[in-house]
Structures are given as structure tokens and as C-alpha cells.
Amino acid sequence: MKINTPFPDPPAPGTAITVADGILWIRLPLPMALDHVNVYALDDGDGWTIVDTGFDTRKTRAIWQDLIDGPLAGKPIKRVLVTHHHPDHVGLAGWFMAQGATLLTTRTAYLQARMLVLDEQTTAQSEQIAFWTRAGMDADILTQRRNERPFNFADCVHPLPLGFTRLIDGGTLTAGGRTWDIRMGDGHAPEHATLWSRDDAVVLGGDQLLLSISPNLGVYPTEPDADPVADWIASCERFQPHARAEQLILGGHKLPYTGLPLRLRQMIENHHHALDRLLAHLGEPRSAAQCFAPLFKRQIDAGTYGLALAESVAHLNHLHQTGRVARHMGQDGAWYFTANDNLEISPQDAASGA
């Protein structure tokens, strides 16, 4: 078994590629290291169901208008299906809703996105600063973040009106001339919807089933003790009985591919290997910010620092909650993690919950 990419060249902005009967693949730009998001248009005859939306920017809205006038043949976008709450996927959902579209998503994705759009801050909150301190954030970066306006969802996500249609794990959906089984994943985002066609071998995978890269498994101040690594591995294992080599996987980034059974094994093994490397790195106490080297194959710069720190915390949380490391609070206010086999912990640290 191997992984194949039957569509090796992505669509140019404002164009679309037919990847299956009644399904168009569209790519939209993103202003970040991962510089694109894939969205899909499902032909419902008298209109379209689109899967994910891109950021709410003037440039993206102009590209959508070109698409509506061109590949979408002027037919209305009647439904917007959002796989999960991240800005590159939900950004323009409210914009389409304002033009008459119905939103389909999970309850968690809707509530999370709506809450974050409404939660606009001009300075970092005390809980964020405490979280970054406990993760051992670089002092210069921490000072910068204390003094700058933080990223807000509202910067790139259109306001979400009240009202949506809920996607439920185990439910079904009709779109693009197909009946789709809805299966939820977790880890990258809570209650992430994936859709599996009953009528042919097509799967809409969002960020849960990506080719060649692992989506960010991050921990954030909203839930500082979360274990998304356990959620991610469990999700991949739940998908395995449904995976077939011939299925065409339409992901939220990178290229469409076949070979899902192998890809699921890779995604599980990649994180087990990362955890093993991290554990070997913890022969002496280290904070999350001191654990980039064993986790990432590239240099972490200012543009990727925040995501790297969130993912480092996630893997340390998993090792801590599975009993393979202990932690103690340093005098600088950061958590320091040590592999249990090498642990010498003071009674004071033990009493503090290390």
C-alpha cells in the first residue's frame, strides 16, 4: 500500500478543479507559513454547499466573487459547512450567511467560533500571561506580548449570526448528489467534522486527515491542562475501521490523496515517536519552551513560535497525565518536566502537585 496524489497541481486563485463528480476543489491564500486553505464546492443542482471558507479578508471575498461568477456558474451558495472552528475554515461563514446561506457545523465549532469572535481584547489577559509564563516563554517574546494588541478572532472571522444546523457524530448529510456519514475527530480541534461518502470513495477530511503534515495539536489558556495528543491518537484509531486505500481524501491543506489506511498509521506513529524523543530529552528538567528541538524538524522563528509552544505544552501534558514525567514549578514561574526514571523530587514539589 502506498499514498498517491492524483491531482498534483493545485487550482490557481479564482479557479477550481473537478476532483469527483459534482465536487470542485478550490484553494484560497492565507497570510502565514501555511499559505493556503483548501475549500470544496458540492453541486446540489440549484445551488452549492461549500465546505470551509478561508479568512474574512477583502482579498478572499474578491476571490469568492470571481469563483461565483466563474466556476460556480452564478448559482447561489445555499449552505456553508464548516468542519471546525479555526479562522481559516470559519472566517467567511457569517458573510455567506448574510447573503442567505445556512450554516452547518458542530455545536462545539459554532459556540467556540461565536464566543471567540465576540471576545475582542486590546491587551493580553492575565490568564494568557500566566499560561505563557508557565510554559517558559522566551522573556523578550513575553514582554512583547504583554505590550502589544493580541490576535483576535474578529481580525479575520466575520461576525456569526445566531442560528445554525448541527452536525452530529453518526448522523448523515445529503450534498453533492451523495449521502455522507458524519464522523467526528478531536485533537486538532474539538468535535471536528469529517464526511465519508456512502456512494463513492470520497472523504472530506478537513484538517483531521491531512497529507504529509500533522495539524497543530495545541494547548491554550482556555484549557491549560488539555491533552489533545490523546484525543488525536484516539480519533485516528476510530477512523481506521472506515479507511480504505482507494478513498480520495479531500483535506483542508496540501493535496488530495489516496492511501488513508497508511496515512492514519503514519499519523499515529509520528506522535508516538515524538513523545519518545521528548521523553529522552527530559533527562533533566525542561520547560515547554525548551522542548522544541525533539519535537520539530525545522527552526522555530517568530512566526511559528506561538504554535510551537502550544504543541510543546500538549505533548508534555500527555506525558505528565500518563505518568511518564513529573513536573515542578520553578522560581521563574514555569513548569519544569522531568522523566520519571531520572526524577529526584523534593517533598515540597510533591506536595505542590508535581
- Spatial CA neighbour of 106 closest among 206, 27, 24: 206
CATH of the domain at 318: 1.10.10
158 and 258 fall within a common domain: yes
> Where among 233, 248, 270 does a domain terminate?
270
Range of the domain at 263: 17-120+152-270
- Spatial CA neighbour of 307 closest among 246, 242, 217: 217
Angle between helices 260-281 and 228-239 (to 10 degrees): 150
174 and 80 fall within a common domain: yes
- The count of domains in the chain is 2
91 and 24 fall within a common domain: yes
262 and 202 fall within a common domain: yes
Does residue 73 belong to any structural domain of this protein?
yes
Q: If you ran DSSP here, which 8-state letter would residue 35 be given?
A: -
Does residue 9 belong to any structural domain of this protein?
no
Sheet holding 178-185, edge to edge: 172-175, 178-185, 192-197, 202-206, 248-251
Task: Determine the Cα–Cα distance for residues 345 and 335; give it in Å rounded to an integer.
Answer: 14
Does residue 23 belong to any structural domain of this protein?
yes
Q: What is the dihedral of CA 257, 234, 103, 40, to 10 degrees?
A: 0
- Longest pairwise C-alpha distance within the chain: 70
One digit per residue, the tens of pLDDT, for the chain of length 354 reads: 799 999 999 999 899 999 999 999 999 999 998 999 999 999 999 999 999 999 999 999 999 999 999 999 999 999 999 999 999 999 999 999 999 999 999 999 999 999 999 999 999 999 999 999 999 999 999 999 999 999 999 999 999 999 999 999 999 999 999 999 999 999 999 999 999 999 999 999 999 999 999 999 999 999 999 999 999 999 999 999 999 999 999 999 999 999 999 999 999 999 999 999 999 999 999 999 999 999 998 889 988 999 999 999 999 999 999 999 999 999 999 999 999 974 444 333 333 333
Q: β-strand 48-51 against 202-206: which pairing, if any?
A: unpaired
Does residue 7 belong to any structural domain of this protein?
no
256 within 8 A of 7, measured Cβ to Cβ = yes
CATH of the domain at 215: 3.60.15.10
Task: Determine the Cα–Cα distance for residues 138 and 40; give it in Å rounded to an integer.
Answer: 39
106 and 206 fall within a common domain: yes
Residue 225's CB is within 10 A of a number of other CB atoms, namely 9
